[in-house]
Structure 1
Amino acid sequence: MNKMIRPDEAEPDEDGPLYAAHKKVYPQCVSGTFRSIKWRLMAVCLGVYYLLPFVRWHRGLGAPDQAVLVDLPNSRFYFFFIELWPQEVYYFTGLLIVAAMTLFLMNALGGRIWCGYLCPQTVWTDLFYAVERLVEGDRRERMKKDEADFTLRRFFEVTAKHSIWLLIAWWTGGAWVLYFADAPTLVKELLTFQAPMVAYVWIGILTFTTYVLAGHMREQVCVYMCPWPRIQAALTDEWALNVTYKYDRGEPRTSVKKAAEARAHGQVVGDCVDCRQCVAVCPTGIDIRDGAQLDCIQCGLCIDACDTVMAKIGRPSRLIGYDNDINIQRRMAGKTDVFRPLRARTMVYAGLIVGVGAIMLYALATRVLLDVSVLHDRNPVAVRLSDGSIRNAYTIRLLNKRAFDQVVAIDVDGVSGATLHVVGFDAITQDRPAIVLGRDQTTEVRVLVTAPGGALPKSSPVTFHVTDIGLGEVASATDNFVTP
């Protein structure tokens, strides 16, 4: 009979632990095409994030003049010339669909472009790395300082670095709350300690998260916390271009000196000289030569590092570059590279982006800023008057989304001979009551519709038309006219 072995009695795995202990990554500074692209995109992204709340946009007297504003107390979202109400949440749904399809399209064309260049985690981590290099030096200097004894100078360097990190994190949190109130006013209130407590709480939360995620967790967020690497691995295909080590050209690896000797003897050697510069500059600390990996954010810095080495030793660039395994196999078979950016997957994504975007633009261009809804009285549903006519009562809710007052008239049709009376309002003509709607407000009115008695059906559809007398804009709503 076999003896049961408890987990605590099991022998340790000879191959070592299941998970290796985390090692601190020291990315080296590099220059080149992709590093320049990342600097420019980082400047644009941070500039937009920090400065956009201070951009002004005139909307008329009494309306907020901040270009981008989430006005929670009044349930409004302003984006330059666009003003959205809670009832128009479908615009946000369309925006999320476009954003998702754009992410899928980027992945189908160039892999994790979002992760490597535009993700907030990448942008702020790059900024924090730049501060760290400025204060403590590049890769080798930082490694030596971490291994050396802690001195007074080291204390001041560490203090300076973390102070700048905290300052950036604090302003990141501060910039976020500026999107929810008038930015200049809120800045003044924050500096004079007169701002609402909720603003200080959110600044504190975002300061802490930015400092921890960008300053300490860094690549661990991409590897362990973010779901996108797992999702994009299921969405990619064999034609997507990813940052790839071209092993058909790089193998077998050897040093520059040994490669020259081997070539002198007619032996075949690869262009890779095993300098490990691609590893030194990687922000997640991986070796791209090991193939596609979950940890790789495809930022392209290893391409710049490898190109620099290739230029120094007089060999062609792009030993590491955007490529796919199909082209590697084709080159090994003596064929030319083939790229297919236009294929079913990318065309479907692009079609959805264009389609949903066109629908949203059409809805924005044609939307009516006067809205109406009708609620029929339930008790009683209908009343027969002494002269035999039948009366139904309704509550009509009118919504004026404009930044100025509107004068509207209400008409009704659907029941022959029906007359309309708005309780408490005078009339422009005998049967067209005039109602003044305050700007950016909802107004409820009680409406009585009376039809002559006779052979009326049990229920008839009736439509209320609300017309802006000045602009001619019309909004309609339908209900039923019933008999007792």
Structure 2
Amino acid sequence: MNAPDLKEPKGKRDWSEAVSVVARKKPSPAVPDKLYEKSKTVHNQRIDGPFRRFKWAVMVVTLAIYYITPWLRWDRGPYAPDQAVLVDLANRRFYMFGIEIWPHEFYFVAGLLIMAGIGLFLVTSAVGRAWCGYACPQTVWTDVFQHIDRLFDGDRNARIRLDKAPWGPAKIARRTSKWSVYLVISFVTGGAWILYFADAPTLFADFFAGEAAPIAYATVGVLTATTFALGGFMREQVCIYMCPWPRIQTAMLDEKSLIVTYKDWRGEKRGSLKKAAKDPDAYGDCIDCLQCVAVCPTGIDIREGPQIGCITCALCIDACDRVMKDIGRPRGLIDYATLEDCKHEAAGGTPVSPWKTLLRPRTLIYFTIWGGIGGALLFALGVRSHTDLTVSPDRNPPFMLLSDGSVRNAYTLKLRNMESRPRVMEVALGGLPGGVLWTDTIALENAGRSQEIEVPADATRTVRAYVLAPADTDEQGFTFTLTSLDEQRESDTAETRFSTPGGNP
């Protein structure tokens, strides 16, 4: 197109009129009719293949773990709950099979959360968004609801036709039946969650008898509503718009990360079988059948390159491999591959072994950190003591001066027995020459350097302790030592101070 003539016009027309003429001659850019386009419902097509079967296996395993775990029993003796996995908020305990976590041991939970985060980094740097594609709760429940769709409405084409059909008795009946199943699954999902926080059989019976706590009904209601909405209707919008991980994952990926990739140097130029038969050299392997788009649960076209909507479920690989097999062309047009491997293969090289891709410095560093934290947690769990002592001295008054000149200090002791049986424990003084100890459970006449106290199973006993020292005692530090009087002989020591009138305030 020739450039418009911007010379000053002759005659009576002024410059502004000339500019308007030029503007009319210049083609205007395309302006969209709408600034916002309503998202279309994604109806993915059923597909069978190795990755689809792997998704089935992961879905069955994860759902079985979620729904069955609260009902598993674990014998911890007569003094502790027998639910295998229990978050006992009322008593501030966390039970997982043979492990019991107390509030002061929250570092174990923090360590597990850190391991989960680093594990996610490791998986993403190695195989992209494999977590999103297979094990993420949103993916698992979306997969369940999509299979419910096929059960009631048929496969992809039938669902599309039903969506376009006008509302009538048949469509209303189908939708009502399907949404009722959605609701039942959502309710069971919310109901299973609360069973982790109380004895499952008892809470189950109380819930349907109307005797459960109000928070139980509120929690089930909220989780039912969110599962129904997110898994039944929002689906891919959660993965694309609501979840922050697609935006974070770019920092985890590099040119050596395995991702689902369309090999454009092999597939382009796209054309049908008829066109390729007439001119084989002009067309690539992609026959533009759109099967990769039809099976995608988020509705993207992987041939457009890596994008935020790809959850790396690899269903497009199953679809493309089936098409390649049917038309007699080699598989792998869409495949798990690294960008580095793609460049190498496009230049005529052979594909790199996946093991070489996975065993590289970045993934090994992540795995080393992940394994190191896990090893440290296991070591701490193995050597931890089941006896714990905390000491709090009285601050007001800090001491009592008795008539004979001796000085008495008062302390609050918390004796923690982390065994599932009662234990007799000994509290003894360390240091403080001439000092004697007695508690609110015995008389002053029985004071001595140590006292024996029975602590209930899996409990913390609070005891008031009094320490008496001679009149000439200076302010100084000393210790309380708690020792279990059983075969384990576990002990814990707490340091504190003895206050006197001549000491520092």
With structure 1 as the length reference, what TM-score do the two structures score? 0.92
The aligned counterpart of 1:463 is 479
Kindly provide the amino acid, as one letter, of the partner of residue 192 in structure 1: A
Query: How does 1:161-310 map onto structure 2 within 5 Å?
Result: 161-263=178-280, 267-310=281-324
Counterpart residue number, 1:325: 339
1:432 maps to which residue?
450
Select which of 99, 112, 130 maps to 2:116. Answer: 99
Is the Cα–Cα contact under 8 Å of residues 436 and 447 in structure 2 kept in the other structure? no
Deviation at 1:16, TM superposition (A): 4.7
Gaps of 5+ in 1: 3-10
Name the CA distance, whole Å, in 1 between partners of 2:411 and 2:205: 49
Tell me, in whole angstroms, the C-alpha distance in 2 between the residues paired with 1:187 and 1:378.
48
Q: How does 1:53-132 map onto structure 2 within 5 Å?
A: 53-132=70-149
Hey, what does 2:425 align to over in structure 1?
408
Aligned partners of 2:30, 2:457: CA distance in 1, in Å? 73
Letter of the 1:129 partner, please give it.
Q
Code of the residue aligned with 2:118 in structure 1: it is M
Displacement of 1:428 in angstroms is: 9.6
| Secondary structure of the structure 1 residue equivalent to 2:416 | strand
Contact kept in structure 2, 1:177 and 1:203, CA below 8 Å: yes
The alpha carbon displacement at 1:385 in A equals 5.1
Counterpart-to-counterpart distance in 2, 1:13 and 1:295:
26
Q: d(CA) in 2 for partners of 1:72 and 1:309?
A: 54
1:450 pairs with 2:468: yes
Letter in 2 for 1:115: C
Q: Conserved in 2, the CA contact under 8 Å of 1:425 and 1:434? A: no
Query: CA offsets, 1:415-473, max 9 Å, x none?
Result: 3343333343379995331111122322222323334455x65x433111111111311
Distance 1:394 1:430, change over 3 A: closer
Q: What are the Cα deviations for residues 332-359 of structure 1, in whole angstroms up to 9, with x where unaligned?
A: 2233334432333222211221111112
Letter in 1 for 2:467: V
Alignment of 1:370-389 (within 5 A): 370-383=387-400, 389=406
Moved more, 102-111 or 364-373: 364-373
Deviations 1:12-36 (A, max 9, x none): 9614544432111110000001100
Q: Deviations over 1:52-82 (max 9, x none)?
A: 1111111111421111112222222211111
* Structure 2: segments with no counterpart, 5+ residues: 1-15, 17-27
1:407 aligned counterpart, secondary structure: strand
Q: Determine helix, strand or coil for the equivalent of 2:227.
A: helix
Tell me the SS of whatever aligns to 1:340.
helix
- Number of aligned residue pairs: give it: 470
Whole-Å separation in 2 of the counterparts to 1:428 and 1:30? 81
CA 325–231 in structure 1, closer or farther in 2 if over 3 Å, else same: same
**Greater Rg, structure 1 or structure 2?**
2
Kept in 2: contact 1:248–1:328 (CA 8 A): no
TM-score, normalising length from structure 2?
A: 0.88
Letter of the 2:476 partner, please give it: S
Q: Which moved more, 1:165-174 or 1:81-90?
A: 81-90
Matched ranges for 1:342-357 at <5 A: 342-357=359-374
Amino acid at match of 1:316: P
How far residue 246 of structure 1 moved from its aligned partner, in angstroms, is: 1.0
Structure-2 separation of matches of 1:185 and 1:421? 43
